[in-house]
Amino acid sequence: MKKTNTVLIAVILIFLGIFVYWGFKTSNVAKKKQIRDTVRIHTRHKESKRQQLQAVFKNDKVWGTLVYQNGESHKIKSVSAGYANYDKKIKNSSSTKYMLASLQKSYTATMIQILIDNGKLSMNTKLNQFYPGVRYSNKITIRNLLDHTSGIQMGEPAPKVSLTSDSSAVAWTLSHLKSTGKMYWSYTNANYILLAGIITKVTNKPYISVLNQYILKPLKLKNTAELDTNIINSSAKTYIFGNNIILHPVSYSLTSSELGCGNLYTTPLDYFKFVSALENGKLIPINALNELSRNHETAYSAGFYYFPEGQRADGIDNGYYNFYYDDKSKHTNMILMLNKGVSDTQGRAMIQQLENILVA
């Protein structure tokens, strides 16, 4: 009888052990499956957001690159579409060089502020110290030039041949600008060409040398350069908006005249690093940035348009469409560079679509 009980107890223990083992194994498998499913869902969500960003490019039928940061993450991400060079099948990327156009104005403004901080200039320095031949130059200040309130007006006439020096670009501007004496806001490249000329006069160095000294080398921006043959051959081509692949005509002679306001090429990543460093006090102190930007209170100053939650900048030239947008309230920071677009209106609308996806 005792032997029978012992056998029965052993059998029960064996079955109990098997039950516990399979229960543990089944639970462990379920947990692993739950983890895998969570990872898949997270991955699908990430891919979905990226696909949504790419869909904006596709739906708007544009080519170019978006570089961005959003949320509390400091990771810089990018999305690209289309080709930098369709014939050679070179696709756009965050390292593609685009013409910077008017986004260059913020580089010029930053160098002016550095010279102010070094005691070489002030916001009240008059234009007549450098270019007395300009009418009303005894009234026009550095501040006026930075803010487009100098009363100077000028279109965008292109020289017949490309200009080959800083001085020739300034001379071209001096011979074509009109100084009205009416000190209200009027946007013109001439203001920043004169500022670039002032930089060369104060430092006795070419514009690009000062740019290298104060901005490019400190930030290790190795993919930013002035217009030259190498840039023409290596930068993104521009294409006319539409279903067909047709090259957009580029006036390099016009670009050569846009010293300090449109003769630079850069990558979206390089520009993003520049503007981030500027805003974070790594190029100039925060109090200097506040002086340069008029405490971010005016509609336009020193290359940027300001709004209550942040700032933006546009650069349109020769078939390039560039848009910078920083919405501090939504922690969204973006640079969009297009080499196949149609208008600044389209680009700004794209920025809003892209932001809506990022903050969703």
69 pairs with which residues across the strands? 333
Euclidean distance between CA atoms 25 and 91, whole angstroms = 49
The percent of residues above 90 in pLDDT, for the chain, comes to 82
Domain boundaries, the chain: 1-60, 62-359
* pLDDT, tens only, 173-218: 999 999 999 999 999 999 999 999 999 999 999 999 999 999 999 9
What one-character DSSP code corresponds to residue 259? T
Q: Smallest Cα–Cα separation from 326: which of 348, 309, 314? A: 309
Class for the domain spanning 62-359:
alpha beta
- The helix-helix angle for 2-60 and 344-359 (nearest 10°) equals 170
Query: How far apart are alpha carbons 275 and 282 in whole angstroms?
Result: 10
Grade residue 44 by pLDDT with cuts at 50, 70 and 90. Answer: very low
Question: What confidence category does residue 16 fall into, taking pLDDT thresholds of 50, 70 and 90?
Answer: low
Q: What pLDDT does residue 6 have? A: 62
**Beta carbons of 291 and 280 less than 8 angstroms apart:** no
For residue range 243-284, what is the model confidence (pLDDT) as tens digits? 999 999 999 999 999 999 999 999 999 999 999 999 999 999
User: What pLDDT score does 49 carry?
Assistant: 86
Any bridge partners for residue 298, and if so which?
A: none
Single pTM value for the model: 0.86
The answer to whether 336 and 65 are in contact (CB under 8 A) is yes
